[in-house]
Amino acid sequence: MYNRMPKVNLIIDGKQIVAEKGKILLEVARENGISIPSLCHDSRLKPFGSCRMCVVEIEGMRGAVQSCGIKVSEGMVVKTNTDMIIGLRRTALELLLTEHCGDCIAPCQVACPATIDIQGFIAHIANGQVLEAAKLIREKLPFPASIGRVCPRFCETACRRNLMEDPISICFLKRYAGDEDILNEENYESTVKPDTGKRVAVIGGGPAGLAAAYYLALNGHRVTIFDSAPELGGMMKYGIPEYRLPKAILNKEIEAITDLCENVFCNKALGKDFTIKQLKLMGFDSVFVGIGSWLDQSLRCPGENLKGVYSGIDFLGKVAMNKPVEIGKKVVVVGGGNTAMDATRTAIRMGADEVTIVYRRSRNEMPASSIEVDQAEEEGVKLQLLSNPVGFVESNGKVTAVKCVRMELGEPDSSGRRRPIPIEGSEFDIPVDSVITATGQKLDTASLVGNPELALDKWKNIAADPATLQTNIEWLFSGGDCVTGPATAVEASAAGRTAAISINQYLSGEAVVAEKKLFNCSRGTLEEMDPAEFEAREKISRTHMPTIGPAERKGNFKEFELGFTKEMAEKEASRCLSCGCMDCFDCRLREYATELGVNADHLGVGEKRFPITDNGPYIISDSNKCVLCGNCIRMCQEVQGVGILGFVNRGSNTVVMPGANSENLCKSCGQCVAICPTGALTFRSTQPKPGPFKVNKVDSVCPNCSIGCKLDLNMVGERVDSITSPICNDTVNQGDLCNKGSLTYNAVQSSNRLLKPMLNNNGKLEESSWTDAFNKCTSLLKGIDGLSIAISPTMTNEENIYASKLGQLAFGTSDIFSTVPVATNRFALDSQNNEKVTFNGMMNSDLIIAVGNDFSQKYPIAAHKFKSAAEKNAALLLISSNVTPLHTSAKASLKITDKKLISLFETFIGFVLENKLNDEKVSGKYPQLIEALAKKLPGDYYEAIQSFFVKPEKIVEFIRLYLKAENPIIVVDGDAVSPELLELITALAFITGKSGTSTKGVMTLYPKGNTQGQLDMGIQVDTRDYQSIVAKIKSGKIKGLLVFGTEEELAPELLQDGVKTILITPFLPKKQQFDIVLPSATFAETNGSYTNVEGRIQPLKAGFSPLGGKNNLQIISDLAKASGYSMDVPTEAQAYSEVISKLFNK
């Protein structure tokens, strides 16, 4: 039985720990909640010691000791976090980063004030998943549609496409996602956390306040918004004209936020209607102030109060509120910023004939975005550059002209722009009907009346900690323009989110600290990049935003940028170069660098040295990111036994490379990718644009053989992005996985999937509706007398039970069989009460005999288990007709043709009986068995022994080794042997007393996931049963066949003419002779359970909803209905309890 290891006591970081002697220190520490970083350790591999991250100090040992190599011993005193150790780890990381080249996140995201996952949302759009894109944006910015129209696009300036042609149209793609989101209201809902009962007042309903309100509400806080204006939106509503941002769009996005708020009060101005202090007294636990900068900067020249002189903000606000404004025909706008442009173009739209912008510097220095200046010029505005107003000419209290002076540019000032200097004597007048001044705004400090203790900064803005936005008053937070001075809506929104995070911390009683910034490795700015690198990439021109022409648009306020169509958006999104790393959500290098606060500027980061290998079907390799931990090499060699990868070159030129002929040897099991701690090896995404996406891991079980490997379906929305295996000692595969498991996603989302029912129309299958299909089923099922049901062993236990119920109860048949027949053992006797052989047991067995030719190909995980058992205690003996990869691990082997196997085991049994080596207890209990066996056997085993073309002494040695072993296991491929042989083998184990525990007996492997479950659920699985069904079909006793499975699984002899067939399958059938074909769900779309070869019942969870629209239990229930029998769709719990009771009643 299991060896109980002696225990030792040790102390790690002052914590008393009891551990099994001989265990690796690093693992003991981790099991006890003490995390020791390591890039190269994996419990499945031999200690290697390359990364040097796991060093610790051990009392009595010199210097730093690697915890991944040392075993725990009695009295060990370990320290894992001394200054010396932390220093070593940090330096190790900094050194690794000097050779690590890549961008963790793309430069666009780095540049974005709101840190939107731009690469991610663009990838979603490219993949046609626009709502996923919107969801991702809204994690950081609640106004994708609005900001997507007005953002100054910091991101696009950083886009690497600038080195090729033009940047990705990120902003308009964001708008596209936002617009689509608005159109799909059901997707607009956000998941709100449970009510915390805390109240927060948000003063100011602009981008900062609304964003704060949104993220606070999502966290379950009760939010009340106060705004001085009649409607929410702030500058987005009153500062940005309708033609750029339609109010209807903005209102939709605001509504989504206010829907989550407790209360909204408009027309309530801070400082007039209430004070901050009052709010606190009213019971608000915290207050956010986001009141913006609404006070106009004065022009500082006389005449500003004349009739016909407006401030830009005032003017735009009035227009927005549809209030009357007289501007006449000749208008001068003073200023070069975005407000000036908005005022200018609004004036044009209000019918002004001659609009002139007066700006004191040259066009290059204009703060407005150049596109806007272009568009204003298209609409007919005149630019009076290098000019500055010095006064106004009046007539009857109304302005009639602006007095200007010409300017020239001098030395750069503190802003870096050249300082304008007036040219003496250059004064001139511009005749006007009205003047709009737009030369900047500031915070109206008057609104802060009553709160003298709130600190302001030297620019008279509210002083808040830039990282947390907490003010000097603990419960008061502030962000947006009122803290920074006039800036952009995207920055204000980002500030709102930051404040919400801080307020949430404050309300939860936590310390208010800045959101931890993840370490970011960057390849550098555009200037630092070598454009040559991009030469080979395809140039694709930027998609133009369709607009209304200047002539048409200048007469109205209609939005003139029309938005991308789906095709445009997807094409534009597909231009993305995907700069950011595919492993950024799952990179240990990044995780540790963040944790240890690594500073990459210290020693620098790596440069690109290697081309990226991107030509494999499943795996992408980027050696520039490799940290040479050696995990992939060792995984491939030590666990998979393939050994494709190796280190090439020496020293700092070392690189991991596949060896010759590797394409043929690599099975694409993906274990190298799964174990890679960085983005050096990544899976090729199943989607056109790879993301990266944060995946949702769904628990499942591999359907491809009876070992029952646990799988994680890595879901992105409704698609499987990859399949990996959870690394856990309690699972059968313990993190191991073969290519059949890792590549299953190919099948489940192939273009081959059947999406709609099909009906046979004169020998041709044609698509139909579910209703028509069931109607057809009804008529077909009613007319058939002899019906049989075939079920695939990839169906769950639950589906098997209900399908067989359907057969028994609705159709009255007991011919319910598996589509994949195998050898089963009816020679059971009392073994029912005995334990089954398990893989864990195998690790404690001392002998394994594997009977079969193909374990390494058909059951790779089992082959790995044999190998590890052989490395531990077991002698591995092979019986096969050929030489297999397992032979290198075998102690002995017999080369026996398949035909001779029965004779071989008869000989073994003969040897046992002849020499009376059978277990006496067994023979005493079952004398008739021994007798029967003896009768069946060849008279003289010695004669038989000569007939195998193998030296007789080798055969005798084999059986002797088996008899000598205390815990021998015989593993048989149940797909390749006959039931007779399996029963003989079982008999051998039984009569020698070598069966009945987890460490000794016979294990039969099957090529599908739930054959064992089918057996347990009472489905006819054995080839002998199958033959009798075939006979019934041939003789006409069975006239109809209901098949839950794939066309490939069905043997041709089942498809006889005259037998009506309903095929319920996930895949498009190739043959046309089926009468009805219904689309079923694969394992990846199914909740339920499989039973593996050890008898483990393991749950499967659906990763996505059935592509055909119905899950299999639903289809079974509908079929029952179609045949006139009522069978409800069971709940998961009901179905599972049926499985368990079936096991009890077996």
In three-state secondary structure terms, 889 is helix
SS3 per-residue string spanning 553-571 = HCCCCCCCECCCCHHHHHH
Which member of 541, 615, 652, 762 binds other proteins (CB under 8 A)? 652
- Site residues for other proteins, window 617-646 (CB under 8 A)? 627-628, 630, 646
Q: Which of 504, 494, 478, 477 is nearest to 220 (CA)?
A: 504
Nearest residue (CB) to other proteins, 25 versus 765? 25
Contacts of 221 (CB under 8 A, 6+ apart): 196, 198, 199, 200, 503, 504, 507
Nearest residue (CB) to other proteins, 509 versus 651? 651
Length of the chain: 1146
- Minimal distance, residue 679 CB to other proteins, in Å: 18
Binding of other proteins by 1140 (CB under 8 A): no
For residue 384, the Cα-to-chain-centroid distance in whole angstroms is 54
Q: Can you tell me the distance from the alpha carbon of 386 to that of 196, in angstroms, rounded to the nearest whole number?
A: 57
Binding of other proteins by 50 (CB under 8 A): yes
Nearest residue (CB) to other proteins, 56 versus 1076? 56
Which member of 322, 395, 414, 653 binds other proteins (CB under 8 A)? 653
- 224 is written with which tokens? 């009340």
- Minimal distance, residue 874 CB to other proteins, in Å: 17
- Minimal distance, residue 647 CB to other proteins, in Å: 6
Binding of other proteins by 32 (CB under 8 A): no
- 135 is written with which tokens? 């969801």
- Minimal distance, residue 51 CB to other proteins, in Å: 6
Q: Provide the b/e sequence for 1103-1112 (b: ≥16 CB within 10 Å).
A: bbebbbebbb
**711 burial class (0-12, 13-18, 19+ CB within 10 angstroms)?**
buried
- Minimal distance, residue 596 CB to other proteins, in Å: 14
Beta bridge partners of 1067: 753
Nearest residue (CB) to other proteins, 279 versus 874? 874
Nearest residue (CB) to other proteins, 449 versus 603? 603
- Minimal distance, residue 656 CB to other proteins, in Å: 10
Please tell me the count of residues contacting other proteins according to CB under 8 A. 36
Q: Phi/psi at 289 (nearest 5 deg)? A: -110, 120
Q: Is 650 left (phi over 0), alpha (psi -120 to 50) or beta?
A: beta
- Minimal distance, residue 102 CB to other proteins, in Å: 16
Q: Which stretch binds other proteins (CB under 8 A): 47-55, 479-487, 726-734, 794-802?
A: 47-55
- Site residues for other proteins, window 96-135 (CB under 8 A)? 96, 98-99
Residue type, 825: N
Q: Provide the b/e sequence for 362-381 (b: ≥16 CB within 10 Å).
A: beebbbbbeebbebbeebbb
Q: Which stretch binds other proteins (CB under 8 A): 50-58, 660-668, 690-698, 903-911?
A: 50-58
Nearest residue (CB) to other proteins, 604 versus 1124? 604
Query: Mask: binding to other proteins, 457-486, rule CB under 8 A, as x and -?
Result: ------------------------------
Binding of other proteins by 8 (CB under 8 A): no
Binding of other proteins by 647 (CB under 8 A): yes
Q: Can you tell me the distance from the alpha carbon of 1000 to that of 1, in angstroms, rounded to the nearest whole number?
A: 10
Q: Can you tell me the distance from the alpha carbon of 705 to that of 57, in angstroms, rounded to the nearest whole number?
A: 46
Binding of other proteins by 678 (CB under 8 A): no
Let me know the angle formed at the C-alpha of 366 by 365 and 369, rounded to the nearest 5 degrees.
125
User: What's the sign of the alpha-carbon dihedral 953, 954, 959, 960?
Assistant: positive
Nearest residue (CB) to other proteins, 55 versus 587? 55
- Minimal distance, residue 609 CB to other proteins, in Å: 13
Residue type, 552: E
Q: Can you tell me the distance from the alpha carbon of 1097 to that of 1100, in angstroms, rounded to the nearest whole number?
A: 10
Q: Are 420 and 361 in contact (CB under 8 A)?
A: yes
End-to-end CA distance of the chain: 28
- Minimal distance, residue 869 CB to other proteins, in Å: 18
Binding of other proteins by 519 (CB under 8 A): no
- Minimal distance, residue 681 CB to other proteins, in Å: 18
- Site residues for other proteins, window 293-332 (CB under 8 A)? none
Nearest residue (CB) to other proteins, 72 versus 105? 72
Nearest residue (CB) to other proteins, 48 versus 683? 48
- Minimal distance, residue 646 CB to other proteins, in Å: 7
Q: Can you tell me the distance from the alpha carbon of 244 to that of 392, in angstroms, rounded to the nearest whole number?
A: 31
Nearest residue (CB) to other proteins, 640 versus 1082? 640
Binding of other proteins by 911 (CB under 8 A): no
- Minimal distance, residue 95 CB to other proteins, in Å: 4
- Minimal distance, residue 88 CB to other proteins, in Å: 5
Which member of 282, 423, 455, 603 binds other proteins (CB under 8 A)? 603
**531 burial class (0-12, 13-18, 19+ CB within 10 angstroms)?**
exposed
- Minimal distance, residue 590 CB to other proteins, in Å: 16
Which member of 25, 27, 38, 48 binds other proteins (CB under 8 A)? 48
- Minimal distance, residue 648 CB to other proteins, in Å: 9
Contacts of 448 (CB under 8 A, 6+ apart): 270, 271, 276, 454, 462
Q: Compute how many other C-beta atoms are within 10 angstroms of the C-beta atom of residue 527.
A: 6
- Minimal distance, residue 866 CB to other proteins, in Å: 20
- Dmax (CA) of the chain: 134
Nearest residue (CB) to other proteins, 100 versus 361? 100
User: How many helices and strands (H and E) does the chain possess?
Assistant: 40, 43
Nearest residue (CB) to other proteins, 94 versus 379? 94
Binding of other proteins by 658 (CB under 8 A): no
Nearest residue (CB) to other proteins, 266 versus 655? 655
- Minimal distance, residue 856 CB to other proteins, in Å: 23
Query: Mask: binding to other proteins, 62-101, rule CB under 8 A, as x and -?
Result: -xx-x-xxxx------------x--xx--xx--xx-xx--
- Site residues for other proteins, window 688-717 (CB under 8 A)? none
- Minimal distance, residue 727 CB to other proteins, in Å: 22
User: What's the sign of the alpha-carbon dihedral 261, 256, 481, 193?
Assistant: positive
For residue 250, the Cα-to-chain-centroid distance in whole angstroms is 31
Q: Are 900 and 948 in contact (CB under 8 A)?
A: yes
Q: Provide the b/e sequence for 1046-1068 (b: ≥16 CB within 10 Å).
A: bbebbeeebbbeebbbbbbbbbb
Binding of other proteins by 873 (CB under 8 A): no
Nearest residue (CB) to other proteins, 112 versus 628? 628
Strand locations in 252-397, DSSP E?
Answer: 263-265, 286-289, 295-296, 309-311, 330-334, 354-358, 382-384, 387-395
Q: Which stretch binds other proteins (CB under 8 A): 46-54, 278-286, 385-393, 835-843?
A: 46-54
Which member of 13, 20, 47, 1121 binds other proteins (CB under 8 A)? 47
Binding of other proteins by 29 (CB under 8 A): no
Strand locations in 661-798, DSSP E?
Answer: 681-683, 696-701, 710-716, 719-724, 758-761, 764-767, 787-791
Which member of 6, 324, 509, 651 binds other proteins (CB under 8 A)? 651
Residue numbers of the site for other proteins (CB under 8 A)?
47-53, 55, 63-64, 66, 68-71, 84, 87-88, 91-92, 95-96, 98-99, 603, 627-628, 630, 646-647, 649-654
